[in-house]
C-alpha cells in the first residue's frame, strides 16, 4: 500500500500535476508537491533530482515526475542509484513497470497524454504490486550495474 508520494514537475507538466495531486489526496495518500507552480519555464533536472533523491533515501514510498513528454524526467531520475524510473504512455505499461520492474518513480508526459489517461496510468501504477519471482534476477543485475558503474546523485547542499 502506497502511503506517501513526492511529486515534481516542470512547466510542461504543471496542469497534469494539479490533477494528479487531487487524485492522490482523494486516495488518502500523503503528497509532497515540490514541483513548479506555474507554466513559467524551469529546468526539469532539478525536480527529477529532488524527487528521485527523496525516494532513494526512503523518505517517500514512490515518486511521480511530469514534464512535457516525460522523457527528460525519466533520463534524469534514472541517474540516481536505486531509482527505477519508468516513462509510461499506457495503462498496460503502468501495470507492467510495477509488476516486472518494481518501478519507484513514474514519469509522465503532460503534453503527450490526455488527463483522463494520465490519471488512469497513475491509479494503475499505485495499485499494482511487484510480483517478484523470476523478475528478481533482472533487478539484481540492475543493482550490480549500479554498484559497478553508477555514481548516484547526492542531495545538493
Full residue range of the structural domain in which residue 86 is found: 4-149
Domain membership of residue 155 (yes or no) is no
Mean pLDDT across the chain: 95
Total domains, the chain: 1
Confidence category of residue 148, pLDDT binned at 50, 70, 90 = confident
Q: Which helix (H) or strand (E) holds 146?
A: helix 135-149
CA distance 136 to 69: 29
156 within some domain? no
pLDDT tens digit sequence for 36-81: 999 999 999 999 999 999 999 999 999 999 999 999 999 999 999 9
Q: Is the per-residue pLDDT at 103 higher than 90?
A: yes
Report percent pLDDT > 70 for the chain: 95
In angstroms, rounded to a whole number, what is the distance separating the alpha carbons of residues 106 and 66? 8
- What single-letter DSSP state applies at residue 23? H
Please check whether residue 157 lies inside any domain of the structure.
Answer: no
**Percent of the chain beyond pLDDT 90?**
90
Can you give the pLDDT at residue 154? 55
User: One of 11, 15, 67, 135 is an active-site residue; which one?
Assistant: 67
**Residue 153's closest CA among 56, 75, 67, 44?**
56
Q: How confident is the model at residue 23 (pLDDT cuts 50, 70, 90)?
A: very high
Quick one: DSSP state of residue 80?
Answer: S
Residue 29's CATH number: 3.40.1400.10
* Catalytic-labelled residue, pool 11, 15, 100, 107: 100
* DSSP reduced 3-state for 71: helix
- Spatial distance between the Cα atoms of 64 and 6, rounded to a whole number of angstroms: 6
Report, as an integer, the average pLDDT of 10-18: 98
In-domain check, residue 40: yes
Average pLDDT over residues 25-46: 97
Q: Is 100 among the catalytic positions?
A: yes
Amino acid at each position: 500500500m502506497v502511503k506517501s508520494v513526492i511529486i515534481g514537475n516542470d512547466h510542461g507538466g504543471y496542469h497534469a500535476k494539479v490533477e494528479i495531486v487531487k487524485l492522490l489526496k482523494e486516495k488518502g495518500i500523503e503528497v509532497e508537491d515540490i514541483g513548479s507552480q506555474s507554466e513559467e519555464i524551469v529546468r526539469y533536472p532539478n525536480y527529477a533530482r529532488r524527487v528521485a533523491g527523496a525516494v532513494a533515501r526512503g523518505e517517500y514510498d514512490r515518486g511521480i515526475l511530469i514534464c512535457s513528454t516525460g522523457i527528460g524526467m525519466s533520463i534524469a531520475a534514472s541517474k540516481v542509484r536505486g531509482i527505477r524510473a519508468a516513462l509510461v504512455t499506457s495503462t498496460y505499461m503502468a501495470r507492467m513497470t510495477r509488476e516486472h520492474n518494481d518501478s519507484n518513480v513514474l514519469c509522465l508526459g503532460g503534453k503527450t497524454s490526455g488527463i483522463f489517461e494520465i490519471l488512469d496510468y497513475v491509479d494503475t501504477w499505485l495499485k499494482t504490486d511487484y510480483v517478484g519471482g523470476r523478475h528478481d534476477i533482472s533487478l539484481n543485475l540492475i543493482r550490480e550495474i549500479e554498484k559497478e558503474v553508477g555514481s548516484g546523485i547526492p542531495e545538493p547542499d
